[in-house]
Amino acid sequence: MKKIRQSLLGIGIVLSFGFLALGTFKIIGHMRGSIQSNKKMVFKLAEVHDEDYPTSIANQKFADLVKEKTEGRIQIEIYTSGLLGDENSVIKEMQKGTIAFGRLSIAPLAEYVDQLYVLMLPYLYRDSRHMWRVLESHIGDEMLDSLGEAGLIGLTWYDSGARSFYLKEGSLDEKGLNGKRIRVQKNSLMYAMCEALGAKPQFLPESEMYHSMLDVSLDGAENNIPTYENYKQYKVYNYYILDEHTRIPEVLAVSNEVMKKLSEKDQQIIREAAKEAGAYERILWSQREEESINRLKEKGVKFVTISDETEANLKKACESLYDEFGRNYQDIIKQIESMKDE
């Protein structure tokens, strides 16, 4: 019996030391996790525009806020002018987590998340205020959440104004673009829209536009006014037609692969900083748009308005796209169309 008691006592001592050791390892593991979270982290943010473009300036504001709120622990390096690739390439890298952040148009994102097509339907919005009413509503929140389908997290909306056509000569008539070769984004809806308006759409990266202008392979293109100025497309396409056929909002997004590895506190800091940067970008955009118009007029650009009749014809020509690209989201489209200004 004495030997049995001694054996049991020995086993108890061994088990006690075992549990103590296990607890010690758990504490050490927890401490290591805390130390890891306090290490300096450096992430990349991809931007295709130049560093003085409104979105680029807002990106820097975002990076500065994150650095300030984390006391320098999280730093975000901004890569402008497409140094990390075009937006389609950036999306793929963000899905893998090799690029953490990106300022992205919803045009390439819609190829992954089809409900985003709703937000870029032609002639959907009455004006900028109408679009922002939508983006700041539950519809906008749900659209940001939908980026999860692409492996991304939408942090905030950026403004990118209204897109219009610009041509070498003339204007739009009742037949729309009437066989003209028009550069469009690599997006199914934009391609279909140009076809519906009578054009011969051409997919082409923005970076290749200038060379295509020189070899006379295009009759025109479409984009917002600051981008039209930024890429000096006015040197060839001197007629900017104010048809405002669509508004394509942009997002500041983060890779889900990156975000899920951060603490809840850091995630909250990033979300708050993004919202602040988004509000700042809207102010910058409005200022830049006005400045661009004034500079372009001085350079001889002719801004051409269209008649109510022409606008009605253009809208009618695009009606089929509402069914083709918004078939499963007719209720959202109706909500947007009926949304009133405050």
pTM of the model: 0.86
Task: Report the pLDDT value the prediction gives residue 218, as an integer from 0 to 100.
Answer: 86
Q: Which helix (H) or strand (E) holds 44?
A: strand 41-46
Task: Report the pLDDT value the prediction gives residue 217, as an integer from 0 to 100.
Answer: 77
Question: Phi and psi at residue 335, in whole multiples of 5°?
Answer: -60, -40
pLDDT in tens, 83-117: 999 999 999 999 999 999 999 999 999 999 999 99
Cβ distance 162 to 179 under 8 Å? no
CA separation for the pair 212, 318 (Å, rounded): 27
Residue 97 pairs in a beta bridge with: none
Which carries the bigger pLDDT value, residue 67 or residue 308?
67
* Residue 4 pLDDT > 70: no
Output b/e per residue, 159-182; b: 16+ Cβ within 10 A.
bbbbbbbbbeeebbeeebbeebbb
User: Residue range 312-329: average pLDDT?
Assistant: 95
Return the closest-CA partner of residue 106 out of 77, 137, 149, 54: 149
User: What residues have CB less than 8 Å from 268, skipping those under 6 apart?
Assistant: none
- Mapping DSSP to helix (H, G, I), strand (E, B) and coil, where does residue 204 land? coil
pLDDT in tens, 232-257: 999 999 999 999 999 999 999 999 99
Range list for CATH 3.40.190.170 in the chain: 38-160+249-290, 162-247+292-338
Radius of gyration of the chain (CA): 26
**CATH class for the domain made up of 162-247+292-338:** alpha beta
pLDDT in tens, 250-287: 999 999 999 999 999 999 999 999 999 999 999 999 99
* Residue 19 pLDDT > 90: no
Query: How would CATH label the architecture of 38-160+249-290?
Result: 3-Layer(aba) Sandwich (3.40)
Q: Which helix (H) or strand (E) holds 134?
A: helix 128-135
* Residue 338 pLDDT > 90: yes
Average pLDDT of the chain, as a whole number = 88
Task: Report the pLDDT value the prediction gives residue 26, as an integer from 0 to 100.
Answer: 34
pLDDT in tens, 205-214: 766 666 666 6
Return the closest-CA partner of residue 80 out of 98, 104, 56: 56
